[in-house]
Chain A
Amino acid sequence: EPEVTQTPSHQVTQMGQEVILRCVPISNHLYFYWYRQILGQKVEFLVSFYNNEISEKSEIFDDQFSVERPDGSNFTLKIRSTKLEDSAMYFCASSQTWGGSNQPQHFGDGTRLSIL
């Protein structure tokens, strides 16, 4: 069964540095998402992306965050100047159609981001 793959599995970064988290969504999927899960807390929506633009974002997704689909396969999340509170597990997801339809989102295994 096709999978969403995320790299790296664990990223350790100094506070203030930029970090890029990478995802390869399922190949025939058109909608892409990032979520994060701070340790011990619920999974929270960050952003959704379709047709090379952001379709929806949460209040967490402020100006330090950006997303990009640089080629036909990768989907990246960039955090420009990391803060301690950005430490979390970041999940990428993809779906064939938009999230409010009857096609579920498939998740990757996540990237654990640790900010020192």
Chain B
Amino acid sequence: AQSVTQPDIHITVSEGASLELRCNYSYGATPYLFWYVQSPGQGLQLLLKYFSGDTLVQGIKGFEAEFKRSQSSFNLRKPSVHWSDAAEYFCAVAGRGANNLFFGTGTRLTVIP
């Protein structure tokens, strides 16, 4: 069965600093991987996805993520964080052939001036 682990519950970074949010997954084959962002009171917005091919994927708002099969990881990165990036970030996995997403518990990002 699929599962997703986001080991960091809460991360605080300074505006302009770089960011890396960790995500590890458990799945028997190569899954589909996603990062979603949830601003307070809002729904889930897709940041980026990995299906196949290039293991470094670019998303919206300057985010990127790298799929590392050997580490079962799909970490989200951004070189310079903006105050508007403060939100909850969810990593999710979909098994190829499955019909639903499995989400991690989320990482809350706080950005300080």
Measuring CB to CB, which residues of chain A are less than 8 angstroms from any residue of chain B?
Answer: 4, 6, 31, 33, 35, 41-45, 48, 55-56, 58, 91, 93, 98-102, 104-110
Contact = CB atoms under 8 A, between A and B. Distances in A.
A109 B42 contact: yes
The 8 residue pairs across chains A and B that have the minimum distance between CB atoms: A109-B43, A45-B100, A107-B44, A43-B103, A102-B51, A56-B99, A99-B99, A48-B99
Nearest to A109: B43
Interface residues of B, number: 27
Interface centre among B34, B52, B92 (most CB of A within 10 A): B92
Contacts of A55: 99
Nearest to B92: A43
Interface in B54-102: 90, 92, 94-102
